[in-house]
Chain A
Amino acid sequence: MSIKRPPAPGDDPKAARREPGRRGARSPLARFLVRRVLTALLLAVGITLVTFVLTNLVPGDPVAANLGQRALGDPAIVAQWRTEHGLDKPLPEQYLLHLRGVVQGDLGTSQQSHRPVLDDLADSVPATLELAGAAILISIVVGVAFGVVAALRRDRFSDHLLRVLSLFGISVPTFWLALTAFYVLFYRLRIAPGSGRIDPGLTPPPHVTGLYTLDAALAGQWDVFSSAVGHLVTPALVLALYTIGLLTRFTRSAVLEVLGQDHVRAGRAKGLPPRVILFRYVLRPALVPVITVAGLAFGSLLSGTVLVEAIFAWPGVGQYAYKSATTLDLPAVMGVGLVVGGVYLVINLIVDVLYGVIDPRVRLS
């Protein structure tokens, strides 16, 4: 397996070809990546086990939740339902069947929608990914920028202002913010479009990724695109506010710490332009702790989607999870668990790989 790394500006590709030693220097990154992916796969199996066990530990009786009063009175119907859903087999066997299903892409049938869980998820997951992805992107860009400004203007007015803003973001409950934003921006000021992913009069763009903004842009449907962006902005901002506050605080302290380090002074002594000092000497080392926090923050952001999706009528996984949990729709609950676990896994993998890319000591050790 060979990993192509874009050549860094200081690298001379010709020199790399000349010296065998430089080729060897590349393979640690490849080895590092392979190790991380293997760990992730192992964790994935763990996730299937955990979701399975947790789902089977719920106190409610799925039979009672899914059959009517009449049917519950008939032992034959109950037994047939249990057999149909594999509930009569011992748990380990149920797990293996479940695992085989997962590998084959068969997550069972939702007892609510009577559709394959996979199809339900294929509809709702992209909606949530679009919302959460937009929110984390906004959080990182705005939070890191705010944090850098606060650190560079330490103890001046902008630092104090940003401190108040980030404390507000961290302490305001998301549901309150979502309700207030919806009420004020939509009902009162009428500057935000209403609920859903696009205006009711429009047809969704042709399905490519399931992300309406991206699909609409790919199809060149700019009216749909602008409607999708308009619908996305408010819930994404609501969702992002907490992580913006968090990342502002963490970036500020990380940048302040790096600013006091020797290599920054040495970089200045080399007469490098201030821009290079800021990005290459200060921001790059400061990003390591910031990335860790951003990865963790994505978790809290995902749980926030349940509320935000409900308030903005966003047809995503949060809503689906809520519906399936309250109706004890076990296949659906397990499916959601797998998706959420998988997302965490991917986020962790991304964070790990970014560590290795940013800090050579990680991948060379």
Chain B
Amino acid sequence: MTLAISDLKVTLGGREILRGVDLELRAGQVHGLAGESGSGKTMTGLAVLGLLPHGARVSGRITLGERDLLAMTPRQLNAVRGGEVAMVFQDPATSLHPMLTIGRQLTEHMRHHMRLDRRQARARAADLLRQVRIPGAEEALGRYPHQFSGGMRQRIAIAVALACSPKVLIADEPTTALDVTVQAGILRLLRGLCDDLDLAVLLVTHDLGVMSAVADEVSVMRDGVVVETGPRAQVLRDPAHPYTRALLDSLPGETS
């Protein structure tokens, strides 16, 4: 399924944070979204899920297949969230609930969205943990987030996002808070899941190096607008926009 964002504008506290964002995510593709900090990448992701901060005013269109997410009632949107569209956040140390077992966090929305009973949900939760390569999946279900390392936690957060078989996955800087040594593993995992499950992935990052490793399409954002979009090879080798060139030049050893 395709997720298309067109002319998305967000005003918050009298300031226009997004000034007409256009993006298109396609099934089976990783769409990289780059741009310096504060350019509006996170806000774009949150707008898709309807999770913008209080007082935000939104206009434009965000269509999932035929449906406009911005026109949905809160109830309808809640069914899409975690169901068809899921999100992975930057810091797995804080985005998992510290007081709930991994099993609980994997099953609670499954039971809600997919109406699974406890046994089915638990069996699927263990499968999900194996899919993101958590060792000892059965036993891990009874443990708490603080008993895992950062990389493992992010794998768990990805499993939570995948639980209800979403069609769209928004990953907001999923490796930024992690050790350099585990970052590549998480990216490979996301790439593999995208291919295996035919997911449309939006991979947000301020790191063009990350981008060049896994993205099919690349968009570059600046000051609340997308300044450049295209296939990875084209955008990274032959950027049309001077800002993209500046970003690429600032990257150590990534010019070729």
On whether the beta carbons of B103 and A270 are closer than 8 Å, the reply is no
Interface centre among A261, A262, A270, A359 (most CB of B within 10 A): A270
On whether the beta carbons of B99 and A285 are closer than 8 Å, the reply is yes
On whether the beta carbons of B94 and A261 are closer than 8 Å, the reply is yes
**Residues of A contacting B81 with CB < 8 Å?**
268-271
**Minimal Cβ-Cβ distance residue in A for B93:** A262
Task: Using known A-B contacts A8-B104, A12-B118, A265-B89, determine if residue A361 contacts B98 with beta carbons closer than 8 Å.
Answer: yes
Any B CB within 8 A of the CB of A65: no
Q: Mark B95-108, 1 if CB is under 8 A from A, else 0.
A: 11111110110011
Of the listed stretches A39-47, A73-81, A116-124, A272-280, chain B binds A272-280
**Minimal Cβ-Cβ distance residue in A for B113:** A271
On whether the beta carbons of A273 and B99 are closer than 8 Å, the reply is no
**Minimal Cβ-Cβ distance residue in A for B74:** A274
Bound complex: CA A136 to CA B126 (Å)? 43
**Residues of A contacting B100 with CB < 8 Å?**
10, 280
Any B CB within 8 A of the CB of A323: no
Bound complex: CA A273 to CA B136 (Å)? 31
Docked complex: B152-211 residues within 8 A CB-CB of A: 157, 160, 164
Bound complex: CA A358 to CA B99 (Å)? 7
**Residues of B contacting A62 with CB < 8 Å?**
none
Any A CB within 8 A of the CB of B35: no
On whether the beta carbons of B82 and A271 are closer than 8 Å, the reply is yes
**Residues of B contacting A261 with CB < 8 Å?**
94
Task: Using known A-B contacts A262-B89, A276-B108, determine if residue A271 contacts B143 with beta carbons closer than 8 Å.
Answer: no
**Residues of B contacting A22 with CB < 8 Å?**
139, 142
Task: Using known A-B contacts A15-B141, A22-B142, determine if residue A263 contacts B98 with beta carbons closer than 8 Å.
Answer: yes
Q: Mark A278-307, 1 if CB is under 8 A from B, else 0.
A: 001100110000000000000000000000
Partner of A361, one of B80, B101, B144, B157: B144
Any B CB within 8 A of the CB of A93: no
On whether the beta carbons of A269 and B91 are closer than 8 Å, the reply is no
Partner of B97, one of A18, A263, A271, A273: A263
On whether the beta carbons of B78 and A266 are closer than 8 Å, the reply is no
Count class of interface residues, chain B: 35 or more
**Minimal Cβ-Cβ distance residue in B for A259:** B54
Bound complex: CA A136 to CA B84 (Å)? 46
On whether the beta carbons of B103 and A25 are closer than 8 Å, the reply is no
On whether the beta carbons of B98 and A272 are closer than 8 Å, the reply is no
Docked complex: A2-34 residues within 8 A CB-CB of B: 8-12, 14-16, 18-19, 21-22, 25
**Residues of B contacting A11 with CB < 8 Å?**
101, 103-104, 142
Task: Using known A-B contacts A262-B91, A361-B146, determine if residue A21 contacts B139 with beta carbons closer than 8 Å.
Answer: yes
Any A CB within 8 A of the CB of B79: yes
Bound complex: CA A206 to CA B2 (Å)? 73
Count class of interface residues, chain A: 35 or more
Docked complex: B63-102 residues within 8 A CB-CB of A: 78-83, 86-87, 89, 91, 94-101
Partner of B144, one of A263, A280, A364: A364
**Residues of B contacting A267 with CB < 8 Å?**
97
Tell me the minimal C-beta distance from A254 to chain B in angstroms.
14
Bound complex: CA A364 to CA B146 (Å)? 10
Tell me the minimal C-beta distance from B77 to chain A in angstroms.
8
Tell me the minimal C-beta distance from B235 to chain A in angstroms.
28
**Residues of A contacting B7 with CB < 8 Å?**
none
On whether the beta carbons of B122 and A15 are closer than 8 Å, the reply is yes
Any A CB within 8 A of the CB of B147: yes
**Minimal Cβ-Cβ distance residue in A for B163:** A270
Any A CB within 8 A of the CB of B119: yes
Any B CB within 8 A of the CB of A360: yes
On whether the beta carbons of A272 and B112 are closer than 8 Å, the reply is yes
Any A CB within 8 A of the CB of B132: no
Bound complex: CA A262 to CA B177 (Å)? 14
On whether the beta carbons of A268 and B113 are closer than 8 Å, the reply is no
On whether the beta carbons of B96 and A263 are closer than 8 Å, the reply is yes
Bound complex: CA A25 to CA B136 (Å)? 15
Interface centre among A8, A267, A273 (most CB of B within 10 A): A267
Partner of A269, one of B79, B87, B99, B147: B87
Tell me the minimal C-beta distance from B91 to chain A in angstroms.
6
Interface centre among A15, A18, A266, A360 (most CB of B within 10 A): A266
A to B CB contacts below 8 Å, 14 in the list? A8-B104, A10-B101, A11-B101, A11-B104, A19-B139, A262-B91, A266-B89, A266-B95, A269-B49, A269-B82, A271-B79, A276-B108, A360-B99, A361-B99
Binding site for A on B (CB under 8 A): 49, 51, 78-83, 86-87, 89, 91, 94-101, 103-104, 107-109, 112-113, 118-119, 122, 136, 138-139, 141-144, 146-147, 157, 160, 164
11 extra A-B contacts, CB within 8 A, seeds A18-B138, A19-B142, A364-B144: A10-B101, A10-B104, A19-B139, A21-B142, A25-B142, A262-B91, A269-B86, A270-B86, A272-B109, A276-B108, A284-B99
